[in-house]
């Protein structure tokens, strides 16, 4: 991305920071003149914003950003994600026998870790395994993009979500300093996610755990840390192990409340008992009148279908906001043996 020069001098920058009440004056006063040239650029402005927002040393940030490369293919890829496909095209990529068999083998190999994680966090092993399967094929594909380049590109070349990705870039630099990692050494996805878990930086800092007690939160190679970190994420977002996730409906009653639910989708949650007052729904016994529910529609191989979704479904969308993703996780977990994840009658 071409950089545009500006006439801001170091002193002018300092005066602006003083007037805005910034606490970065001390750091700036120690910065070499060469680091803040009179020909300031968008890259340098990014350095200053990151210093203000993270409190990291400006030399550390500047060194990292100076090594970041703008990759225009990142912008193209983030605008055309797999999740934008119709569900009938998206589903076969993940809900298939090959990936399920890999998941069953992974569950067996790490059975004791899964059991400990389930006991501690209350999240089914099959849900965790489905996440790891869809994200990285159980660690076999973690992504080839440099995370630093991806986040730098999205921070500067994707205006619609530039603030979000600048925050993630700041989180990334903080975790690199905390975990003693080189910013240029970590590879992941075009969206800045990394490791077997494909955490974005803020999720790593907020939810990754050192389950094997080796002093590192290793979401790349440690099965203990990987499995427990996913479980911790789900617990903290409100996962309820005893409740269902989603259910395809063969028929949707022609009632006003159902039309409203289809319009609202997961923007509004209703109690199943209140909905049942308007029309009967044939559901397994696991569904309770107290359950918070919503309706979504997807284009499947059988045509447009409606699914009743529990609040647990929404928890999955906190990991990835796509309905396609959340439904595929549910269906894959069902193939792995999750008793609460049955989606068909």
> For residue 221, what are the CA distances in angstroms to 195, 196, 226, 260?
8, 7, 8, 46
Cβ-proximal residues to 246 (8 Å cutoff; 6+ apart), any chain? 307, 308, 309, 310, 313, 326, 327, 330, 341, 343
Q: Specify whether the CB–CB gap between 327 and 307 falls below 8 A.
A: yes
d(CA 56, CA 306) in angstroms, rounded, equals 49
Instruction: Using the CB atoms, write b or e for 82-114: b if 16+ within 10 Å.
Output: eeeeebeebbeebbeeebbebbeebbeebeebb
**Three-class DSSP category at 296:** strand
Maximum C-alpha span of the chain: 73
8 CB neighbour count, 10 Å cutoff: 18
Instruction: Using the CB atoms, write b or e for 144-176: b if 16+ within 10 Å.
Output: ebbbbbbbbbbbbeeeeeeeebbbbbbbbbbbb
Angle of helix 58-66 relative to helix 42-54, nearest 10 degrees?
140
Cβ-proximal residues to 226 (8 Å cutoff; 6+ apart), any chain? 132, 139, 195, 196, 197, 218, 219
Our answer to whether residue 62 is catalytic in this structure is no
Which residue in 126, 135, 171, 331 is the catalytic one? 135
- Active-site residues, by number, are 135
């Amino acid at each position: 991305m071409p950089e545009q020069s500006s006439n801001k001098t170091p002193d002018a920058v300092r005066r602006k920071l003083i007037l805005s009440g910034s606490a970065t004056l001390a750091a700036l006063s120690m910065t070499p003149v060469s680091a803040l040239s009179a020909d300031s650029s968008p890259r340098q402005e990014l350095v200053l914003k990151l210093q203000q927002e993270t409190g990291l040393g400006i030399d550390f940030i500047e060194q990292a950003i100076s090594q970041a490369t703008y990759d225009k293919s990142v912008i193209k890829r983030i605008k055309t994600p797999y999740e934008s496909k119709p569900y009938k095209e998206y589903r076969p990529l993940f809900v298939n026998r090959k990936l399920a068999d890999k998941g069953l083998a992974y569950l067996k190999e790490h059975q004791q870790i899964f059991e400990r994680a389930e006991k501690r966090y209350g999240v089914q092993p099959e849900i965790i395994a489905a996440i790891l399967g869809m994200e990285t094929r159980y660690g076999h594909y973690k992504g080839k993009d440099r995370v630093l380049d991806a986040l730098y590109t999205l921070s500067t070349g994707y205006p619609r979500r530039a603030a979000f990705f600048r925050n993630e870039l700041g989180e990334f630099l903080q975790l690199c300093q905390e975990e003693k990692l080189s910013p240029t050494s970590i590879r992941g996805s075009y969206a800045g996610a990394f490791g077997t878990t494909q955490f974005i930086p803020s999720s790593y800092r907020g939810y990754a755990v050192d389950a094997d007690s080796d002093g590192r939160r290793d979401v790349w190679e440690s099965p203990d840390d990987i499995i427990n970190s996913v479980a911790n994420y789900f617990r903290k977002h409100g996962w309820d192990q005893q409740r269902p996730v989603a259910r395809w409906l063969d028929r949707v009653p022609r009632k006003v409340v159902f039309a409203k639910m289809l319009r609202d989708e997961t923007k509004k949650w209703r109690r199943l008992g209140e909905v049942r007052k308007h029309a009967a729904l044939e559901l397994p016994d696991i569904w309770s009148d107290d359950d918070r529910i919503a309706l979504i529609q997807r284009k499947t191989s059988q045509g447009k279908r409606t699914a009743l979704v529990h609040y647990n479904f929404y928890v999955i969308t906190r990991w990835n906001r796509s309905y396609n993703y959340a439904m595929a996780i549910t269906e894959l977990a069902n193939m792995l043996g999750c008793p609460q994840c049955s989606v068909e009658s």
